[in-house]
Structure 1
């Protein structure tokens, strides 16, 4: 239940701050945004560490680096997909992560999910498709990009509880921010020398006050959310937490209504119901599995 709560809180925050990425795109490119977000985030991490008396030295630098690279790859592929695909297709692909978590848990670690959890995973993904409603007529090989994002993101989150359960959530979050910042700095150098006109290929521009405030806002929100989701995967079963991450889509729909008065159709509402049902099934099956040995 604690892991589910962390995942729900992280999804609510991330879905809120993502509403303002379009505003950032009016000021600068994607890579410049990530570089400045990292520059804002690192001092905040240091301040939090000092106040909370948390050490930022990793327990195992090698496993932390691998986990950070995998998670960052998933997130950056997702952002790259947004430059060439509709948001619905990119989002549907990224939220294939729970399926990848389930499959990788079996293939790599020999874990057993049980019939109920399998149903919950596929139901959650089906609900995500109902909510996002991607257009099959526009599908192409580029649609594999967000699926790859889901694969990397799911693998990284699964490895969080297996390899990095001794790392603090603050260290896990900082690792992802630094990795994305380093990769983005490299890409910003490339796009500055070979500029384009899209959000992905835009060169460095002098930051405006609006860009700085929006980026700082994004950095603070992302720090909180990434720390929460890292804690969720540290204390909860990856397949369970992954299903609760579908709530991102639910919160995104709610924020669209509250912030921009964008209404949701009946199919999307049905998708929300399916997602909630899948989360309840996953939570109930996990609770039942824990109680079974004590009653035997």
Structure 2
């Protein structure tokens, strides 16, 4: 008896692919928003396991191992997609990579010093810096509506993360510095690297993070501290758990970094930055699904403010164009 085929009908599949292509090519702003949302969902998921990584090795060893896995993955992706890993402008790409990498390394480092709430609140000040640098460096014209929408989004971030104001100190400036560097790096993407491929932009970030981490790891390995921590630990023999977590993190980070780089390359930086707030919404969802951590009323209100501000900004932009 012949086996009945379960394959999708050819014309139906072709029609679905055609509609998806039309949607995807409809507007760079739409593609940028979708890519930023995808990146936020992936990063918020894999960041839930940073604490597990800290139990196995220092941040510097983790970043070196992750770069060693991520870069070959990007080479493979580049060959399969026909994208070259050679930047069109090495200096501009290197500058952008250095700025973004510095911000991300500071953020990861502060996770071992400060509560996650303070570190996260500092990093997600990036949209404020994107707005400021757009005006100061590139003479962009930002409307009062856009300013209020971004400020409201940041207020929602604070409501969601709820940093302890009584414990604020000079160390609290470190995650703020991460926000400055990350915001500046994202702003530089369309201005300096608009012609670069997502593979090149992602590879640049992983390469710079890997080189910086290798230098710090070498120092702490040659001059170990008495009580090594997540920030001051040297090289240790990698366990199977660490290798698995690193591969898992590298694969997710490669996809997410490529998505967010492309989003900033084709979109408007200040608008993509607001979409990135969804990281916190996804983080709350993943935390509940993975660890059973519930979100309180103030945090739920913060999520609502973030959604409203992002939606208002998108609608306002669509009416202006």
Q: With structure 2 as the length reference, what TM-score do the two structures score? A: 0.89
Tell whether 2:314 aligns with 1:279.
no
User: 1:195: Cα distance to partner?
Assistant: 2.3
In the TM superposition, what whole-angstrom CA distance separates every residue of 1:138-172 from its partner, at most 9, and x where no partner exists? Answer: 00011111111100100000000111000001100
Contact 1:34 1:181 in 2 (8 A): yes
Tell whether 2:113 aligns with 1:113.
no
1:157 maps to which residue? 186
- Number of residues paired by the alignment? 290
2:157 maps to which residue? 128
- The 3-state SS of whatever aligns with 1:205 is coil
1:222 maps to which residue? 253
1:233 maps to which residue? 264
Which of residues 98, 111, 129 in structure 2 aligns to 1:82? 111
Which of residues 59, 68, 89 in structure 1 aligns to 2:88? 59
Tell whether 2:290 aligns with 1:254.
no
- The 3-state SS of whatever aligns with 2:233 is coil
User: 1:113: Cα distance to partner?
Assistant: 1.5
Q: d(CA) in 2 for partners of 1:73 and 1:184?
A: 11
- The 3-state SS of whatever aligns with 1:148 is helix
Q: d(CA) in 2 for partners of 1:7 and 1:195?
A: 40
Which ranges of structure 1 fall in alignment gaps of 5 or more residues? 291-296
1:294 maps to which residue? none
Q: d(CA) in 1 for partners of 2:135 and 2:74?
A: 35
Which of residues 166, 172, 179 in structure 1 aligns to 2:201? 172
1:199 maps to which residue? 230
Q: d(CA) in 1 for partners of 2:122 and 2:66?
A: 25
1:265 maps to which residue? 296
User: 1:210: Cα distance to partner?
Assistant: 1.0
Within 5 A, what are the aligned runs for 1:91-106? 91-106=120-135
- The 3-state SS of whatever aligns with 2:57 is coil
Q: d(CA) in 2 for partners of 1:288 and 1:2?
A: 18
Out of 60-69 and 79-88, give the one that drifted further: 79-88
User: 1:203: Cα distance to partner?
Assistant: 1.1
Contact 1:41 1:220 in 2 (8 A): yes
- The 3-state SS of whatever aligns with 1:112 is coil
Q: d(CA) in 1 for partners of 2:71 and 2:103?
A: 21
Q: d(CA) in 2 for partners of 1:285 and 1:69?
A: 33
2:77 maps to which residue? 48
User: 1:43: Cα distance to partner?
Assistant: 1.1
User: 1:23: Cα distance to partner?
Assistant: 1.0
In the TM superposition, what whole-angstrom CA distance separates every residue of 1:36-67 from its partner, at most 9, and x where no partner exists? Answer: 00011111111111111111111100100000
- The 3-state SS of whatever aligns with 2:260 is helix
Which ranges of structure 2 fall in alignment gaps of 5 or more residues? 1-29
- The 3-state SS of whatever aligns with 2:249 is helix
User: 1:194: Cα distance to partner?
Assistant: 2.4
Contact 1:76 1:180 in 2 (8 A): yes
- The 3-state SS of whatever aligns with 1:204 is coil
Contact 1:116 1:281 in 2 (8 A): no
